[in-house]
Amino acid sequence: MLNVSPRRREYETLPGINDLGVPALAPMPAGESEDTRRIIERFGADILAAGLQSGQQVIYTTPERLREVMTFLKKEPQLAYEALIDVTSLDRRDLPMDNGEARFQTIYQLRSYARKQHLTVVCPLESDENPQVPSLASIFKSAIWPEREVLDLMGVNFTDHPDPRRILMPDHWPYHPLRKEVPLGGEEVPFSLTFDDPMFETLGKQVLPANSVSPALPPGMNRQNMILNMGPHHPSTHGVLRLAVELDGETVLNVDPDLGYLHSGFEKTAENKRYKDFVYYTDRMDYLSGMNNNFGYVLTVEKILGLEIPERAQAIRVIMGELQRIASHLFWLSSHVLDISGTGMSLLMYATRERERIMDLFEMVCGARLTVSYIRIGGVWADLPPAFISHLQDFLDVMPGYIDDYEEMLTKGPLWEERLQGIGYISREEAIDMGLTGPMLRGSGVDWDLRRDMPYSGYENYDFDVPVTSEGDCYGRYVIRMEEMRQSLRIIRQAADNLPDGLYKTDNRKVSLPPRAELDVSMEALIHHFKLMTEGFRVPPGMFYHGIEASKGELGFFIYSDGSSKPYRLHIHGPSFNNLYAISMMSRGHMLSDIVTNIGSIDIVLGEVDR
């Protein structure tokens, strides 16, 4: 028999142009803010460092006191960091460290909605062989899935974690892919799943970690609940999501999502791509809102670079971002209606028709419709074509009428409200505790929108409302998204009417390419062109987290730069991933049909959940 077992190969990098000598550590935080001072006052020497880094509040603490610090941050009324947005980790193996410095760090992003503050907590771990850190699951529910992700991809153990399973990679995977010693491809792939594998016995019948809501049975009786395997190939799981559902009749007792079928390792890929080359990858994560992904990534890199973006570019970005939000919401609406009613095919077609107009607009500006890569570091790829504004105006004129039509078709028709009201209820406290973002958060009564509360790209210049409702159910989220489309139109109209003249991308030649004509007359331009095309630009050492309000929630990028032209570590906080965590809690006690309603209401894209 032919031996096809793959062998371990040494991974080679191209020597030469990209060797940059010794990489540098990000600088430690300096200075202080009111919050860091208050934290140091309380914990003293256990706060290893605190202050501002690239304008963001950062504190370093030890694993021993991590839980205490977090509880303090959450409970102390003057701090009130009520939400844990993201958990990630860093392997510093390839960085120039002093002896005895910790190799692994876990990094937490905290948010205070009331005070509009953001805080990064870094926790260097003690052991390099067996890194351990206490789990924050008992303080923030939103830590559960991201911690599983860190465990899976970085191999950091979380003590007292309620559910310490891998989340993206297969259970028997031997590596932790984000560790620096794992090569980018070329490693042996363990195809151990054969028919002799004991896993096959239980595949699709796993005993769920059930917090069942089944009624108490009389003594002596027992009942076996049906385990229904929904997905990964199921019409309504919006991609390759697998749900193991425990059913009592048609009542859902528990839902256990199984992720990772679309795990593409974007974070690992990013470590080997130059900053400017990773823009194209971001399109592929949430493939329904490519512009927003570009936007979030590009802004993060620009923040580390400290780059000034011309106002025209900022306004174009806002127009694109909001158009993309409408397109994404239209797609959400059409698939949501299809999932719920089956017969709502008509609405799917109508909403797709309008989305098509937005796609056409995108095609006008960049030639692509779905994976646009239009927003680039330093500005946008090309200036708006002359006919764009008039086409945009046409769209702006007709769209409000269409949104009213959709609403009328749904809310005036029978059954739509009955199907949504009271389904998938999330209270305000739960929404914050689970770290939900976007319409999920606003649907539960938290008045928070990054565009308004932490403005970026000139959003502070636009006049728009943030719809909030405290209904907390699928109907509330439906109302929010419909209203968001109208508000987006408002923003676009303002941006299009006052579109400033000027450059569409920065003229900083260290970052953006010189125009072709300049190459013929300027030696410097030629050098810049050559350096940018061969090496890319270098980003000063630093660490930065930046979130934008994407259509599905907060899309955050965390970048650790070591001074080279590639990110040393890039972490993506996808809104779908955190929002999907709520599915189990939302669906318990409801009917089987409501699972589908809830998935639609969360609005997930698996490309982003699995990344």
Partner 1 sequence: MDWLNLLIIPLARSVALILVLLTAFAYLTWFERKLLGRFHVRYGPNRAGPKGLLQPVADAVKAIFKEEFIPDHVDKPIYVLGPALALIPALVIWAVIPIAKNVPAIADVNIGFLWILAVAGVESYGLILAGWSSNNNYSLLGALRSSAQMISYELPMGMFLVSILMLAGSFSLVELLNSGRAWWEWLWLWAMFPLFFICILAETNRSPFDLPETENELVAGYQTEYGGIKFSLFMMAEYINMITTSAIMATLFFGGWRLPFGLLQNVQILGPFVLAFKVILLLFLFVWVRASVGRPRYDQLMGFTWKILLPISIGYMMITSILVVLFK
Residues that bind partner 1 in the complex, under the rule CB under 8 A: 226-229, 234-236, 250, 337-346, 348-350, 353, 413-416, 418-419, 591-596
Q: Is the dihedral of CA 498, 500, 504, 506 positive or negative?
A: negative
- Distant-in-sequence, close-in-space partners of 144: CB < 8 Å, separation ≥ 6: 137, 161, 162, 163, 581
- Position 195, amino acid: F
To partner 1, the closest distance from the beta carbon of 348 in angstroms equals 8
Are the C-beta atoms of 315 and 296 separated by less than 8 Å? no
To partner 1, the closest distance from the beta carbon of 235 in angstroms equals 5
To partner 1, the closest distance from the beta carbon of 559 in angstroms equals 39
DSSP 472: -
- Position 541, amino acid: P
To partner 1, the closest distance from the beta carbon of 439 in angstroms equals 21
Residue 110 tokens read as 């905290």
Smaller CB distance to partner 1: residue 311 or 417? Answer: 417
To partner 1, the closest distance from the beta carbon of 227 in angstroms equals 8
Smaller CB distance to partner 1: residue 91 or 246? Answer: 246
Q: Looking up tokens 């504004």, which residue turns up?
A: 389
To partner 1, the closest distance from the beta carbon of 250 in angstroms equals 6
Smaller CB distance to partner 1: residue 154 or 482? Answer: 482
To partner 1, the closest distance from the beta carbon of 353 in angstroms equals 6
Does the N-terminal peptide bond of residue 232 adopt cis geometry, omega within 30 degrees of 0?
yes
Smaller CB distance to partner 1: residue 31 or 249? Answer: 249
To partner 1, the closest distance from the beta carbon of 341 in angstroms equals 3
Smaller CB distance to partner 1: residue 350 or 581? Answer: 350
Smaller CB distance to partner 1: residue 15 or 414? Answer: 414
To partner 1, the closest distance from the beta carbon of 418 in angstroms equals 6
Smaller CB distance to partner 1: residue 231 or 567? Answer: 231
To partner 1, the closest distance from the beta carbon of 259 in angstroms equals 20
Alpha-helix residue ranges (DSSP H) falling in 342-387: 345-366
- Distant-in-sequence, close-in-space partners of 258: CB < 8 Å, separation ≥ 6: 231, 232, 241, 242, 243, 244
Alpha-helix residue ranges (DSSP H) falling in 76-180: 144-154
Smaller CB distance to partner 1: residue 116 or 205? Answer: 205
Nearest alpha carbon to residue 577 among 454, 438, 469, 449: 438
Residue 23 tokens read as 């990489």
The alpha-carbon radius of gyration of the chain (Å, integer) is: 25
Smaller CB distance to partner 1: residue 33 or 352? Answer: 352
Distance CA 183, CA 268 (A): 9
Nearest alpha carbon to residue 428 among 468, 487, 466, 465: 468
To partner 1, the closest distance from the beta carbon of 289 in angstroms equals 23
Smaller CB distance to partner 1: residue 214 or 371? Answer: 214
- Distant-in-sequence, close-in-space partners of 362: CB < 8 Å, separation ≥ 6: 291, 320, 323, 368, 369, 372, 374
Nearest alpha carbon to residue 134 among 160, 108, 164, 102: 160
DSSP 515: P
Alpha-helix residue ranges (DSSP H) falling in 434-574: 439-442, 450-453, 474-497, 516-521, 523-534
Smaller CB distance to partner 1: residue 303 or 588? Answer: 588
CA distances from 107 to 87, 154, 387, 540 (A): 6, 12, 46, 20
Q: Is the dihedral of CA 437, 442, 446, 451 positive or negative?
A: positive
Smaller CB distance to partner 1: residue 320 or 399? Answer: 399
To partner 1, the closest distance from the beta carbon of 332 in angstroms equals 15
Q: How many CB atoms lie within 10 A of CB 333?
A: 28
